[in-house]
Amino acid sequence: MINLNNKTALVTGAAVGIGRATAIVLARNGARLVLIDINYKKLEEVKKEVEEYTKDVLIFKCDVSDEEGVNDIVKKALKAFGSIDILVNNAALWRCWDSFLNTSVEAWKKFIDVNIMGVVYCCRAVLPKMLENKWGRIINVSSVAGVYGNTNMVHYSTTKGAVNLFTKALAKEVTSEGVLVNSVCPGSVSPAENSDIDYTQESELSFMGRTGSDRENANLICFLAGDEASYISGQNIQIDGCRRKM
Ligand SMILES: NC(=O)c1ccc[n+]([C@@H]2O[C@H](COP(=O)([O-])OP(=O)(O)OC[C@H]3O[C@@H](n4cnc5c(N)ncnc54)[C@H](O)[C@@H]3O)[C@@H](O)[C@H]2O)c1
């Protein structure tokens, strides 16, 4: 177990997939939760699931690319819980495959707004209190696409590459103040629609011959959120079953 008692974690994109599994695993390890998603109906279901472990759960419908909305939620959460100690920037757009020339400028702007600016807004909102407390954990959910670059996902790959460098650069500014910043780069993860957080499928993309599960990703995020990860900052950690090819 990771001891997250008396810690509050904000998880974006928490309604399904890695975000939902992260909420469950963080709660099982003692954290209070602030969960954000554009899908409020699914978020209500996650709230019920995590209430088995904690009653301190706030859920909010919010688009992370809405700076005012993010700031408002962080204010409310700080009022309710006193601090946000852990931020998991998980929300992103990614289910979109097309050639570079077929990808519209509007799509590029939307991906940049959600996948990059959403991370920026959430970090700007929570960092002042983390710095005041001299303790914080920021974990950005990136992708192997941001390391290798995926064909027919040029815009997505670009945003995740940006998140990886954002992680390294921000870590250099705040690590000495007690705020550790890392990103996790999942390979292929089984479909988020599946309610079983241990679900995996066969995959030729990893030497393990399978996809990763939502829970495996959540376990890594939870480890990085705890005191046990006290000497890790500025890292992009791949969780991909030993990636074979893109
Ligand atoms: N699933 C994979 O194979 C895989 C691989 C590599 C990286 N990732 C990354 O993992 C993260 C989670 O992906 P997933 O596949 O588990 O979930 P997903 O893509 O199925 O769902 C993401 C969640 O984020 C929410 N969301 C989307 N846009 C939002 C916005 N603007 N504001 C707030 N919430 C928003 C969605 O409603 C959804 O609940 C993403 O950052 C993704 O890029 C996933």
Residues 173-190: b if buried by 16+ CB within 10 A, e if exposed: ebeeeebbbbbbbbbbbb
Query: Atom 11 in ligand 1: which residue has the minimum CA distance?
Result: 90
| The two three-digit tokens of residue 191, written as one number | 């479909």
> Is the confidence at residue 162, as pLDDT, over 90?
yes
Measured at the CA of 126, the angle between CA 148 and CA 49, to 5 degrees, comes to 80
Regarding the beta carbon of 22 and ligand 1, being less than 6 Å apart is answered: no
Number of neighbouring beta carbons within 10 Å of residue 157: 22
Quote the CA–CA distance of 29 and 230 in Å, as a whole number: 17
- pLDDT exceeds cutoff 90 at 193: no
Q: Which ligand 1 atom sits closest to the C-alpha of 192?
A: 20
Cβ–ligand 1 distance for 135 under 6 Å, the answer no
Tens of pLDDT, residue by residue over 48-87, are 999 999 999 999 999 999 999 999 999 999 999 999 999 9
Binned at pLDDT 50, 70 and 90, residue 13 comes out as very high
Query: Ligand 1, closest atom to CA 156?
Result: 43
The domain ranges of the chain are: 8-239
Residue 228 has what pLDDT? Answer: 96
- DSSP SS3 for 132: helix
Per-residue HEC secondary structure of 158-205 comes to: HHHHHHHHHHHHHHHHHHHHCEEEEEEEECCECCCCCCCCCCCCECCC
Q: Per the structure block, which two tokens stand in for 37?
A: 């998603």
Residue nearest to atom 23 of ligand 1 (CA): 13
Spatial separation of the C-alpha atoms in residues 242 and 208, rounded to whole Å = 7
Q: What is the CATH T-level fold of the domain 8-239, as seen in this structure?
A: Rossmann fold (3.40.50)
pLDDT level of residue 246 (50, 70, 90 thresholds): low
Mean per-residue pLDDT of the chain:
97
Query: Which residues make beta-bridge pairs with 185?
Result: 238
Which of 12, 40, 73, 94 best tests ligand 1's pocket when mutated (most atoms within 8 Å of CB)? 94
Arithmetic mean of pLDDT, 186-214 = 95
Quickly state the pLDDT bin for 191 (edges 50, 70, 90): confident
Tell me: the pLDDT tens digits for 107-156? 999 999 999 999 999 999 999 999 999 999 999 999 999 999 999 999 99
pLDDT at 147: 96
Provide mean pLDDT across the span 230-240.
Answer: 98
Catalytic residue numbers? 156
The confidence score (pLDDT) of residue 16 equals 97
Task: Find residue 58's DSSP bridge partners.
Answer: 34
